[in-house]
Amino acid sequence: MKHFNYLLVALVALTVSSCQHYYQHQGSVFGTYYNIQYKASSNMEQQIKQCLQDFDNSLSMYNEQSVISRINNNEDLTTDTCFERMFETAQYVSEVSQGGFDITVAPLVNAWGFGFKNKENVTQEMIDSLLQFIGYQSVKIENHQVVKSDPRTMMDASALAKGYACDLIGELLAENGSKNFLVDIGGEVVVKGHNRNGKAWKIGITKPIDDPTGDKQELQDVVETTSLCMATSGNYRNYYFEDGVRRSHTIDPRTGYPVHHKLLSATIIAPTCMKADALATACMVLGEYKAAVMISQIRDVAYYFILTDEDGSLKTQTSPNWEKMLLNLED
């Protein structure tokens, strides 16, 4: 009888597996693209779109009715779970980066023309004025409400939004029985299992060359894995020139100015894509030396840096655990 039961279970499992198919959805979201592939028993496109819409309603600075927009406008409202999970990760990364990462950087991002408002004529006096109400220690959540030390403080979740959205779609797929999927939103990636050919997923790390439109997409490296949360931050696309000076979108919340150093891109592997996304941004603010020290002190996190050498050529630098993280993330 036992053997019969085992056979029955095996047949049921085989039947469920054989009824699953690979689906792929592509489109635009959050000002970038998404590419989602997964194996499941039914098409989940509508659930995925609803998940992205719910995310937008919580954390989009371009949605005037989103939770974060209303908080920025000092409305009295209760935060949702999506916002609170984001806030917890943001505060953690702010702490470990000693303020290199800070979601209250929004006024500075706007002033330099990379946010949800028009660029301003930046002066040192303006920077000094804005820095008075910027700082992650000046905001906290009490009883599901955001408390600010200064009402002028505004938050910007874009530095971890794409990674967070990848996590949420991955969770949605897993909860609905999918064990094989790839979620790619603007280059931030969550993968699990195998592709439609039964092989490990191949994920490219883009070469940091001047490519504002994203058309060239040259790859620096390719990794293969069956389980991964990875995010990349860089200054090679979102930038402009002003008076002969290149202004990158990565703003140091401690100084108020766009960063300028040898680190061109930072790719991070972490337990969640949201954490990887935030840490990658923190690395771009800190620069290669301080960023390497920061990552070395965090468990289950690895980095892949691309830097420019003295002669302008590209070189790579990885944390000692980079290969181990790729190998050990398989179930």
Q: What is the pLDDT of residues 25-77, one digit of tens each?
A: 999 988 889 999 999 999 999 999 999 999 999 999 889 999 999 999 999 99
Domains and CATH numbers, the chain: 21-331 (3.10.520.10)
Amino acid sitting at position 192: K
What pTM did the predictor assign?
0.87
Say yes or no to pLDDT of 241 above 70.
no
Q: What average pLDDT score do residues 130-136 get? A: 94
Share of the chain above pLDDT 70, in %: 84
User: Of the candidates 103, 79, 108, 80, which has an alpha carbon nearest to the alpha carbon of residue 93?
Assistant: 103
CA distance 223 to 324: 12
Q: What is the pLDDT of residues 157-216, one digit of tens each?
A: 999 999 999 999 999 999 999 999 999 999 999 999 999 999 999 998 887 765 544 555
Structure tokens at 10: 């095996």
| Cβ atoms 44, 172 nearer than 8 A | yes
Residue bearing the bigger pLDDT, 234 or 283? 283
| Cβ atoms 127, 112 nearer than 8 A | no
